[in-house]
Structure formats: structure tokens, C-alpha cells
Amino acid sequence: MLYPFSALLARMKYITRWSLMHSTRAESLSEHTCDTALLAHMLCLIARRYTGTPCRPKTVAVAALYHDAPEIITGDMPTPVKYSSPTLRDAYKALETESVRCMTGLLPDELSEELFPFISGELLTAEEKRLLKAADRLSALIKCTEEQRSGNHEFDAALAQQKAALQAMHCPEADWFIEHCLPCYTQNLDELTRQQ
């Protein structure tokens, strides 16, 4: 018996994010999930060290790797379209749920049982879901910042939206990251590697 789940996941590299916007550099879904996992892990470490928010950094990081896996089947629907009406939002949510069910059905039952909670996010606490969502938004904010710095004003509104959404989350871990880490994303390699 063959199980195509992992081969299907490998297709994330072919799904382009921000598909309705002109980008100076394309970003794949695979790249975004890796960035989000790294950011989620960091936010969890910040939570444990500075804010006292209970969380499991490794669990959240793995869930982040799978957080957009349903888009392998659904494609990356742009956020403004996805949330343009309650009907579209609910229909897309149902489609994502069915996508998770179909994907985990491509594994033996015992592996499906273990992976389903990571892909669906069901194994995360409310605090961990908040940290993962903040990491997802930070990934988008960083992409928008990079595009804007490259002279691409197509991302100006998206950058403002991501900043506002992060601020509205009232996530102290994301606030700490924005203050202490985000400014480094504008530095060149020499500046990043210079000894302090």
C-alpha cells in the first residue's frame, strides 16, 4: 500500500502566496510555513522567558509547519477574498476542514490519528493558537516589509493591515518581537553579522 501524504506536502513549494499582488520576489507556501514555524517557536520562547504565558514551543512549531497544509488542496485564497463575506468565510472554513480530512486520509489510520491534531490545530491551547496566529501575521508583516523596502508599493496597504491586526491581537510576545527583533529585518548582512 502506498501513502501519498508526504509527497502531497512536498507540493507546498509550488503554491505561490500573495497571488493577486505583484511581488518583487515570489513566496511559496513551503517558505511561509517554515518562516511561521521559526517565528512561532521564538514567540513561545519569549512567552516562557518574559511573559509567563504557558506554552509548548516544540508542539506549536510543528503545528505551524502544518498550519496551511489544507491550502495544498484549496490553494491560497487571498485574505481579502476569504473574509469578504460571512458566506465565503464559512464556505472556505468548511473546505479547509474537508481538506484536512482528505489529506490525513492519505495515511494509515494510526499515523492519521497522530497528525490530524497538528494539521487541524486541535491539540493547541487557546494561548498556543494565539501565538501561532501572531507568528503567521508576523511572517506576512515581514514579507510586506521586504516588498516595500524593494520599492514595491503594492504591499503598502497590506503592511498597514498586518500592523493593525497584530496590534489588535494584544499579544505581548509579538510586541516584544516587534520591538527587539523586527528592526533587524531592515539590516544588510554586514550589519546583521557585526559583533555587538
Mean predicted confidence (pLDDT) in 58-72: 96
Across the chain, what does the average pLDDT equal?
93
Percent of the chain exceeding pLDDT 90 equals 83
Closest by Cα among 123, 79, 65, 73 to 99: 73
Q: What CA–CA distance (Å, rounded) separates 158 from 20?
A: 12
- C-alpha distance from residue 136 to each of 72, 119, 129 (Å): 17, 15, 10
Q: Per residue in 81-111, pLDDT tens?
A: 777 788 888 888 888 889 999 999 999 999 9
Q: What CA–CA distance (Å, rounded) separates 149 from 184?
A: 13
Amino acid at 177: F
Q: Per residue in 7-46, pLDDT tens?
A: 999 999 999 999 889 999 999 999 999 999 999 999 999 9
Query: What is this structure's pTM?
Result: 0.92
Q: What CA–CA distance (Å, rounded) separates 37 from 28?
A: 14
Top mean pLDDT of 93-102, 172-181, 182-191 is at 172-181
- Judge whether 136 and 29 are in contact, CB under 8 Å: no
Q: What CA–CA distance (Å, rounded) separates 124 from 8?
A: 24
Q: What CA–CA distance (Å, rounded) separates 153 from 88?
A: 28
Q: What are 28's strand-pairing partners?
A: 16
Q: What CA–CA distance (Å, rounded) separates 133 from 180?
A: 19
Helix axes 172-180, 126-149, angle to 10 degrees: 30
What's the pLDDT at 196? 64
Mean predicted confidence (pLDDT) in 175-188: 95
Q: What CA–CA distance (Å, rounded) separates 130 from 179?
A: 19
Q: What are 16's strand-pairing partners?
A: 28
Percent of the chain exceeding pLDDT 70 equals 99
